[in-house]
Amino acid sequence: MAKSQSERVLVTPSPYAKSHYLYVQEAGSLQSLEPHISSRRNLNSYLFFVVLSGRGTLTYENQAKELQCGDCAFLDCRKPYAHESSQKEPWRLTWVHFNGADAAHFYESYLEQGHSFFFRPVSILPFVETISQLYEVSRDRTFLNELQAHRLLTDLIAKIYTQQEETCDTVPAKLKQIHEYIRVHYAEKLTLDELSDLFFISKYHMSREYRQVYGITLVSDITQRRIAHAKSALRFSDYPIESIAEECGFPDSAYFIHVFKRAEGITPLKYRKRWQSLHSPALKQSARQTFQRL
């Protein structure tokens, strides 16, 4: 007698999809009929599943977690994992195995931000709908379907991050204040010591927690905001490099040029010439006026 009933689609991605996209390996749903342990290890895959009804046990990272209707799990299948349905309340699952370009980076970033491999979102409906769409587009392998699957998987990962933030207040109030302060004051002189004193928090604790929550270091966040401002100034103004460096919070133009080239691969002057050569005089004048009003 079968221990479960399932509907699934197995996918063999094209070489192009394997090199450039996130791609589905398997998607489907399962209704457990009796308790049995399903265990895997060393699979080059990432698994996301939703408990649609019932309950069961997931063992992963040397932890055994009781999951029930409304819970989700996100696993790196290169590591051992096992799950078993409850005998009294057999569970029903929907899932997708996927891999591809940047899949490992997404998962590592997910863990670095302090998220757990299981969570309980406000609603499982967005996840169920996305997996259902992935199931449908994966039934036929075409270039367009693989592109749609990539988009849906990217959307699924975004939902995982978003639901994590909505489900539990993982961002302490003080970190939110620091994040907002940087958003407003990034062009001013900012150091870890000054931020530490301003918000009455250890700079080491602040740095560690900021990276864990926002997925970027404090210094990198400030620098990226300054570079983004500088790019707008270079494209839409005639301000000299020295003025732009000062306006964006860099201590001098030499350091600004060094940081900009490291971030963009070219000097600020080359960046300006490249972009301004693409614009007509009328468009440049309109953009310059818009920038000056900001």
Question: What is the maximum alpha-carbon separation in the chain?
Answer: 78
Is residue 221 located within the same domain as residue 256?
Answer: yes
**Same domain as 183, residue 241:** yes
Beta bridge partners of 28: 8, 95
* Domain co-membership, 162 together with 177: no
Count the Cβ atoms, other than its own, within 10 Å of residue 132: 14
Residue 244 · residue 252 · CB < 8 Å: no
The answer to whether residue 135 scores a pLDDT higher than 90 is yes
Contact between 72 and 124 under an 8 Å Cβ cutoff? The reply is yes
Measure CA 29 to chain center: 25
In sequence order, the 6+-apart residues with CB closer than 8 A to the CB of 41 are: 77, 78, 79, 80, 81
Q: Is 60 exceeded by the pLDDT of residue 1?
A: no
Residue matched to tokens 């309950």: 55
Kindly report, residue by residue over 226-245, the tens digit of the pLDDT.
999 999 899 888 899 999 99
152, 167, 182 — which closes off a domain? 167
Does residue 223 share a domain with residue 94?
A: no
Do residue 22 and residue 158 come from a single domain?
yes
Q: What does pTM read for this prediction?
A: 0.62
33: pLDDT strictly greater than 80: no
Domain residue limits at 8: 4-167
- 157 and 187 belong to one structural domain: no
User: What digits encode the pLDDT tens for the residues 158-214?
Assistant: 999 877 544 444 567 888 889 889 989 999 989 999 999 999 998 898 988 888 777
> Where do we find the tokens 């062009």?
187
Confidence of residue 6 (pLDDT cuts 50, 70, 90): confident
- Tell me the sheet residues that pair with 50: 72, 94
pLDDT tens profile 49-103: 999 999 999 999 888 999 999 999 999 999 999 989 988 888 999 999 999 989 9
Proportion of the chain above pLDDT 90, given as a percent: 51
Tell me, what CATH number does 67's domain have? 2.60.120.280
Helix (H, G, I), strand (E, B) or coil at 109: helix
Q: What's the burial of 21, exposed, middle or buried (CB within 10 Å: 0-12/13-18/19+)?
A: buried
Q: Could you tell me the CA-to-CA distances from 128 to 51, 58, 132, 183, 252 in Å, in that order?
A: 10, 19, 6, 35, 52
Q: How many domains does the chain have?
A: 2
Sheet of 81-85, strand order: 37-40, 81-85, 55-60, 63-68
The Cα 139–Cα 149 span in angstroms is 11
Q: What is the CATH number of the domain that holds 221?
A: 1.10.10.60
139 and 236 fall within a common domain: no
Whether residues 14 and 131 share a domain: the answer is yes
Long-range CB contacts for residues 194-199, cutoff 8 Å, separation at least 24: 199/174
Q: Are residues 110 and 195 in the same domain?
A: no
* Last-in-domain residue among 167, 199, 228: 167
Select from 130, 146, 167 the last residue of a domain.
167
Non-local CB neighbours of 193 within 8 Å, separated by 6+ positions: 203
Cα torsion 52, 57, 60, 61: sign: positive
User: Contact, 55 vs 86, CB < 8 A?
Assistant: yes
Residues 98 and 12 in one domain: yes
pLDDT-above-70 percentage for the chain:
89
Residues 79 and 115 in one domain: yes
Q: Are residues 110 and 160 in contact, defined by beta-carbon separation less than 8 angstroms?
A: yes
- Do 153 and 210 belong to one domain? no
